[in-house]
Structure 1
Amino acid sequence: MDPGPASGDARSTPDPGTRGPAATPAASVPAAPSATPTVPATLDPAPPAPCPHYHEAVELLGARWTGAIVDVLLSSGPLRFTAIANAIPDLSDRLLSQRLKDLEDRGVVTRDDHRGPPRHTRYALTPMGRELEPAVAALKAWGRRWLDTSAASFRRM
């Protein structure tokens, strides 16, 4: 029968009631200072949430071709459907109709049906839509300054 390791042997197993070296008193061995200080979790706070009004405006005008439609109506005043379509030749009639309906539902565009001969419909910006003029002008100025539309990689709307 093997009596086990000697009591002074460094390979001795710890007493079953202890958990190894952590069970020895630490008062005799000072803790080494950490090389990197602890950084509080609040050092990089979460960024503020975007303004919901800004987000909604960008979503409305950022829909494909909507900005171009608003720009045409700002430049020309009330127009018939075909005049808007001719001003934006790459825009399909179906999508133009949908965008005009979306803008009308949101109060940016008004639809005026003329019943007299000849019958026709004109679309115009509401006062709310006309208030977009400074924003559209600022975007145009920014685009002229920063976007190179002559580059081969530039994609037309």
Structure 2
Amino acid sequence: MDAVKNTDTICEKVEHVHDIISKKWVSSIIHTLMEEPKRFSEINAYIPDLSKRVLNERVKDLEDMGIVIRNVITERPIRTEYSLTRKGVELGRALKGLEEWANKWV
């Protein structure tokens, strides 16, 4: 019985991850933030087909999930940057494997 319960828990967690990364643009946003923090306009420039409205929604969702953090830089001019949390960086590394697979097979 414990093995079945453990499998159910793992399946639920995997499904939750699929729910997160299956939203359009989420993996692209994470990929964009992997190297360094970026301002909203920079993220938008890296993903030109992504509307500002949807980018705003996705960034807020990722913030709520603890994947992205919003940093207000108080030096003049005041600006806001987005970066990945540790959780986000680890997800980005996992997505990198998918990217490598896609480059090879798709």
* CA–CA separation in structure 2 for the residues paired with 1:118 and 1:125: 22
Relative contact order, higher structure (CA 8 A, sep 6+): 2
Question: Partners in 2 of 1:99 and 1:57 — Cα distance?
Answer: 15
Deviations 1:67-101 (A, max 9, x none): 00001101x31100011000000000000011000
Alpha-carbon distance in 2 for matches of 1:95, 1:143: 25
TM-score (norm 2): 0.87
Choose which of 102, 109, 116 in structure 1 pairs with 2:75: 116
The CA deviation at 1:142 is 1.2
Q: TM-score, normalised by structure 1?
A: 0.60
Partner Cα distance (2:75, 2:93) in 1: 35
4+ residue segments displaced more than 4 Å = none
Which runs of 5 or more residues in structure 2 are unaligned?
A: 1-6
Query: Which of the pair is proportionally richer in helix?
Result: 2
SS in 2 for 1:136: helix
1:84 aligns with 2:73: no
- Answer 1 or 2: which has greater strand percent: 2
| Alignment partners' CA distance in 2, 1:145 and 1:114 | 40
Count, aligned residues:
99
For residues 81 and 133 of structure 1, the distance between their equivalents in structure 2, rounded to whole angstroms, comes to 18
Measured in 1, the distance between the counterparts of 2:37 and 2:52 equals: 18
CA–CA distance in structure 2, aligned partners of residues 104 and 143 of structure 1: 27
Amino acid at match of 2:20: L
Match of residue 103, structure 1, among 62, 65, 71: 62
**2-structure distance, mates of 1:67, 1:134:** 11
- Percent of aligned positions that are identical: 36
- Measure the CA separation in 1 of the matches of 2:93 and 2:55: 23
